[in-house]
């Protein structure tokens, strides 16, 4: 895979229009990945502007360091979870920024890497951690969770209708031999679920939701996202922009609720006659919520098909 072309940035024109980075502005890419969005932002924010790029994946940081090397000191890269965005930004001199972008999920590089086993096509050992030095790999969850816990995981994080059958098949298989690779898990799930009737529409692989669920659990994706969004809003200067691209409804729901809560400000129970929390609105949504990629983009980059972009503007304190 060509390092420059390995991952096409999703909805990049929409993100650029929303951020409108001008020379001298300070920007954060909280999921810098292959550097596709970051490169476009840097082109517009330099000279004088700077970009902080964060990614949990050490390989992504190493690759993007090479790709963005020509921007010298204008780029600061940090390998860490975006859960720590507030602290990372302040310690790197990004205490007040004009824009923050999150492009959630995983990159084409990660999906295509057989060693990480993010896919049911991967022959590598089931890991799925964005940061392979932290947390518990997927194979350990598959080996240790009991049947009700596995069922709950596939239901909660994959919205998988056959969660119970799949969990039972996993428990039955692992009593005989461990489930090691992406291909082994993909084949096991495909054999456990009833065959779907042809509908004429493009069908997803029967293990897609199970892989999504495991990835979400392994990386604590739904827990870290609200923390990171709150940290990002703390860093935005008035009129700064927050852009979030999500790829499944669980994630998008968190972003939607977060923006709605920050728009409302007050968190007092409706039974109270007057506000006692004193919280003021901090965000206003910008444009249609959510925005979807154009048909032309989806035709050229099928990975974009489930993308939803939400944009919000930081209100003055
Ligand atoms: C869709 S890719 C980003 C691609 C990037 N926008 C580009 O144009 O190349 C998502 C990235 O987010 C990273 N990521 C996911 N969860 C993370 C987290 N909690 N903290 C930091 N990075 C995370 C992944 O490692 C992955 O590289």
Pair (286, 241) in one structural domain: yes
Instruction: Answer whether residue 285 is part of any domain.
Output: yes
Number of domains in the chain: 2
Q: How far apart are the first and last CA of the chain?
A: 46
Pair (230, 99) in one structural domain: yes
Pair (234, 289) in one structural domain: yes
- List the strands of the sheet with 236-246, edge to edge: 75-79, 50-55, 26-29, 97-103, 236-246, 308-314, 283-285
Pair (95, 237) in one structural domain: yes
Pair (63, 140) in one structural domain: no
Instruction: Answer whether residue 118 is part of any domain.
Output: no
Whole-number pLDDT of residue 199: 62
Q: State whether the Cα torsion 232-234-235-240 is positive or negative.
A: positive
Whole-number pLDDT of residue 201: 60
pLDDT tens figures, 191-229: 999 887 666 565 788 899 999 999 999 999 999 999 999
Instruction: Answer whether residue 194 is part of any domain.
Output: yes
Residue 79 near ligand 1, beta carbon < 6 Å: no
CATH number for 193: 1.10.150.170
Pair (138, 262) in one structural domain: no
Instruction: Answer whether residue 70 is part of any domain.
Output: yes
**pLDDT confidence bin for 116, thresholds 50/70/90:** confident
Pair (172, 209) in one structural domain: yes
CATH number for 90: 3.40.50.150
Contact in structure between 313 and 240 (CB atoms under 8 Å): yes
Output the CA 206–ligand 1 centroid distance in Å.
Answer: 25
Q: Write the CB contacts of 90 (distance below 8 Å, at least 6 apart in sequence).
A: 235
Instruction: Answer whether residue 1 is part of any domain.
Output: no
Tell me the average pLDDT across 68-96.
97
Whole-number pLDDT of residue 214: 97
pLDDT tens figures, 9-35: 999 999 999 999 999 999 999 999 999
Pair (168, 43) in one structural domain: no
Pair (245, 198) in one structural domain: no
Q: Which of 218, 245, 274 is the last residue of a domain?
A: 218
**In Å, how far from its chain's centre is CA 20?**
22
In terms of residue numbers, what domain contains 303?
12-109+221-314
CA nearest neighbour of 144 among 214, 224, 219, 223: 214
Pair (152, 202) in one structural domain: yes
pLDDT tens figures, 255-269: 999 999 999 999 898
Pair (195, 61) in one structural domain: no
> What ligand 1 atom has the least distance to the C-alpha of 228?
19
Residue 25 near ligand 1, beta carbon < 6 Å: no
Residue 81 near ligand 1, beta carbon < 6 Å: yes
Instruction: Answer whether residue 18 is part of any domain.
Output: yes
> What ligand 1 atom has the least distance to the C-alpha of 33?
27
Tell me the average pLDDT across 123-147.
94
């Amino acid at each position: 895979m060509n390092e420059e072309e390995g991952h096409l940035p999703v909805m990049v024109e929409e993100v650029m229009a929303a951020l409108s980075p001008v020379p001298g502005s300070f920007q954060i890419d909280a999921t810098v990945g292959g550097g596709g969005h970051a490169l476009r932002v840097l082109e517009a924010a330099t000279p004088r502007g700077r970009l902080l790029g964060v990614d949990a994946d050490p390989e992504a940081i190493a690759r993007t360091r090479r790709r963005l090397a020509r921007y010298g000191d204008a780029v600061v890269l940090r390998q860490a979870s975006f859960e720590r965005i507030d602290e990372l930004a302040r310690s790197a001199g990004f205490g007040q920024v004009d824009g923050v972008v999150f492009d959630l999920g995983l990159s084409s590089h990660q999906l295509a890497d057989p060693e990480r086993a993010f896919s049911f096509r991967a022959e590598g050992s089931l890991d799925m951690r964005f940061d392979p030095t932290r947390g518990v790999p997927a194979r350990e969850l598959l080996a240790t969770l009991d049947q009700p816990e596995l069922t709950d995981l596939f239901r909660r994080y994959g919205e998988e209708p056959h969660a119970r059958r799949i969990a039972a098949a996993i428990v039955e298989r692992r009593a005989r031999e461990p489930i090691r690779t992406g291909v082994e898990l993909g084949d096991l799930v495909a054999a456990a679920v009833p065959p779907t009737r042809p509908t004429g529409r493009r069908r997803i692989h029967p293990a897609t939701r199970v892989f999504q669920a495991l990835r979400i659990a392994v990386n604590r994706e739904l827990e870290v996202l609200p923390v990171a969004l709150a940290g990002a809003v703390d860093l935005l200067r008035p009129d700064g922009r927050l852009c979030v691209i999500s790829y499944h409804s669980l994630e998008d729901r968190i972003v939607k609720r977060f923006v709605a809560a920050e728009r409302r400000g007050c968190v007092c129970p409706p039974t109270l006659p007057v506000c006692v929390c004193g919280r003021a609105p901090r965000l206003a949504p910008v444009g249609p919520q959510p925005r979807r990629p154009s048909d032309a983009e989806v035709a050229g980059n099928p990975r974009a098909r489930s993308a939803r972009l939400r944009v919000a503007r930081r209100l003055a304190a």
